[in-house]
């Protein structure tokens, strides 16, 4: 049953959510290659058949992905980029092997079809339940391939609600260590971390003057303005097709010497993050992630935001 508490109307309505997640925290092959240097997947018989049916040449897609992976492997090994630079080299592969983009898009399409199917089955069995979509942090906040392939509005066609994960504290450390540092060793190895952060802020529609600088990301997180901006984007795309429940991060863990441990949220920022979600038009908020990670004082700060 529910692992979250639902915020808006907390007192009026206790909601139990049946959580059924399938592949919601993964991304497509292009993201895996260019951002993480992972081997692109999937080339199983089902994916091959699906792509063939769409008229996509399997061998050319594989060659294109192989070429991209070797560019990234060189960058990881610290070898200097070709005279043309990394981005030009990547775009050259995409021009010559557009099957790479087609394959990537089919991954997102297949993912979307599964979610739509789960939604239809759930509603057939229990028409009165709310069935919705968990949009994990990479999908909601930094994977540009996911963002460009799949809109919130399209998800809302097959959902009663969309729940973007917008953990304002955790986004600081995650942006620094899961995004910028990984890109620095790979796709954006010609940029400094500061340049890469500015590129992120500007291309993802954030106002850099309201957000932390590189050396503040770990301690400050991204803050309530990030929650506002991303909730607004979701709401504008979803419109009236579904509800938007913003996932607010409370004491979300981060790595310490002995593994992951909850990091206490600043109570004022937490209250403000909830308020900014509602300012942007959220229909509700979810106290995330796990109840056993949260301190009662943080839940009180979350509650203050809901009540205001
Ligand atoms: Zn497959």
Question: For the segment 174-188, what is each residue's pLDDT rounded down to a tens digit?
Answer: 999 999 999 999 999
Of 8-17, 215-224, 257-266, where does mean pLDDT reach its minimum?
A: 8-17
- Gap from CA of 39 to ligand 1 centroid (Å): 13
Residues 100 and 175 in one domain: no
Domain finish residue from 53, 80, 109: 109
Cα of 68 vs centre of ligand 1, distance in Å, is 20
Give 135 Cα–ligand 1 centroid separation in angstroms. Answer: 21
Q: Is the pLDDT of residue 197 over 70?
A: yes
Domain ranges, residue 102: 25-109
- Same-domain status, 40 and 96: yes
- Domain closes at, from 75, 109, 143: 109
C-alpha pair distances (Å), 307 with each of 121, 144, 204: 35, 35, 30
| Cα 100 to ligand 1 centre (Å) | 15
User: How many CB atoms are closer than 10 A to CB 155?
Assistant: 25
Question: What residues pair up with 66 in beta bridges, in sequence order?
Answer: none
| Distance of CA 44 from the midpoint of ligand 1 (Å) | 4
Q: Ligand 1 centre from 28 Cα, in Å?
A: 11
Ligand 1 centroid to residue 186 C-alpha, Å: 25
Query: Does the residue 121 lie in any domain?
Result: no
Residues 10 and 29 in one domain: no
Please tell me the distance between residue 291's alpha carbon and the centre of ligand 1 in angstroms. 34
Query: Is residue 11's pLDDT more than 50?
Result: no
Whether residues 142 and 60 share a domain: the answer is no
Which of 46, 78, 109 is the endpoint of a domain?
109
- Do 51 and 185 fall within a single domain? no
pLDDT band at 5 (very low <50, low <70, confident <90, very high): very low
Q: How confident is the model at residue 10 (pLDDT cuts 50, 70, 90)?
A: very low
Is the residue at 124 inside a domain?
A: no
- Does the predicted model carry a pTM greater than 0.85? yes
Ligand 1 center to 67 CA (angstroms)? 20
The pLDDT of residue 69: 98
Residue 15's pLDDT is: 55
Same domain, 77 and 183: no
Q: Check whether 259 has a pLDDT greater than 70.
A: yes
Tell me if 119 is assigned to some domain: no
Dist. CA 40 → ligand 1 center (Å): 11
Cα 130 to ligand 1 centroid, rounded to whole Å = 29
How many independent structural domains does the chain possess?
Answer: 2
- 125 in a domain, yes or no? no
How far does the centroid of ligand 1 lie from the alpha carbon of residue 252, in Å?
Answer: 32
Mean pLDDT for all residues in the chain: 92
Kindly write down the DSSP assignment for every residue of 52-109, as one continuous string: HHTT--HHHHHHHHHHHHHHHHHHHTTPPPPTT-HHHHHHHHHHH-THHHHHHHHHHH
- Is 283 among the domain residues? yes
Burial class (CB in 10 A: 0-12, 13-18, 19+), 52: exposed
3-class secondary structure, 237: helix
Distance 283 CA to ligand 1 centre (A): 36
Is the same domain home to 38 and 94? yes
Is residue 213 domain-resident? yes
Strand partners, 285: 246
Please tell me whether residues 61 and 163 are part of one structural domain: no
Measured from the Cβ of residue 201, the count of other Cβ atoms closer than 10 Å reads 19
Q: What is the pLDDT of residues 232-241, one digit of tens each?
A: 999 999 999 9
Question: What pLDDT does 80 receive?
Answer: 86
pLDDT of residue 16: 53
| pLDDT score, position 96 | 98
Minimal CA–CA distance to 282: which of 10, 8, 18? 8
Residue 133 has pLDDT above 90, yes or no: yes
Q: How high is the pLDDT of residue 12?
A: 45
The residue-averaged pLDDT of 234-261 equals 94
Q: Write out pLDDT tens, residues 29-55.
A: 999 999 999 999 889 999 999 999 999
CA of 41 to the centre of ligand 1 (A): 7
**CA count, 13 A, side-chain hemisphere, 303:** 10
Segment 75-101 shows an average pLDDT of: 95
- Residue 256 maps to a domain: yes
User: How many angstroms separate the alpha carbon of residue 132 from the centre of ligand 1?
Assistant: 24
Whether residue 218 sits in one domain with residue 86: no
- Whether 30 and 149 map to the same domain: the answer is no
Are 77 and 165 in a shared domain? no
* Residue 294 and residue 274 share a domain: yes
Mean pLDDT value across residues 233-252: 98
Examine residue 241 and state whether it is found in any structural domain, yes or no: yes
């Amino acid at each position: 049953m529910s692992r979250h508490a639902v915020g808006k109307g907390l007192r009026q309505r206790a909601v139990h959510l049946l959580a059924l997640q399938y592949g919601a925290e993964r991304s497509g092959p292009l993201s895996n290659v260019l951002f993480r240097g992972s081997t692109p997947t999937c080339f199983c018989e089902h994916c091959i058949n699906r792509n063939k049916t769409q008229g996509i040449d399997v061998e050319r897609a594989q060659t294109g992905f192989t070429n991209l992976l070797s560019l990234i492997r060189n960058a990881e090994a610290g070898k200097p980029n070709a005279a043309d630079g990394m981005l030009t080299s990547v775009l050259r592969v995409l021009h010559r092997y557009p099957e790479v983009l087609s394959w990537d898009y089919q991954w997102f399409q297949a993912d979307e079809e599964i979610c739509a199917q789960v939604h239809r089955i759930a509603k057939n069995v229990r028409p009165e339940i709310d069935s919705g979509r968990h949009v994990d942090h990479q999908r909601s906040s930094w994977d540009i391939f996911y963002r460009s392939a799949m809109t919130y509005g399209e998800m809302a066609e097959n959902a009663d609600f969309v729940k973007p994960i917008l953990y304002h504290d955790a986004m600081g450390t995650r942006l620094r260590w899961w995004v910028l540092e990984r890109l620095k060793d790979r796709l954006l190895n010609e940029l400094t971390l500061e340049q890469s952060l500015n590129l992120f802020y500007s291309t993802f529609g954030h106002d850099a003057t309201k957000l932390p600088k590189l050396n503040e990301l770990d301690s400050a997180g991204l803050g309530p303005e990030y929650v506002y901006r991303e909730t607004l984007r979701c709401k504008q795309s979803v419109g009236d097709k579904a509800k938007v429940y913003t996932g607010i991060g409370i004491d979300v863990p981060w790595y310490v010497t002995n593994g992951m441990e909850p990091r206490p949220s600043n109570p004022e920022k937490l209250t403000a993050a909830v308020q900014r979600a509602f300012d942007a038009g959220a229909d509700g908020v979810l106290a995330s992630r796990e109840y056993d990670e949260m301190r009662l004082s943080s839940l009180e700060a979350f509650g203050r935001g809901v009540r205001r």
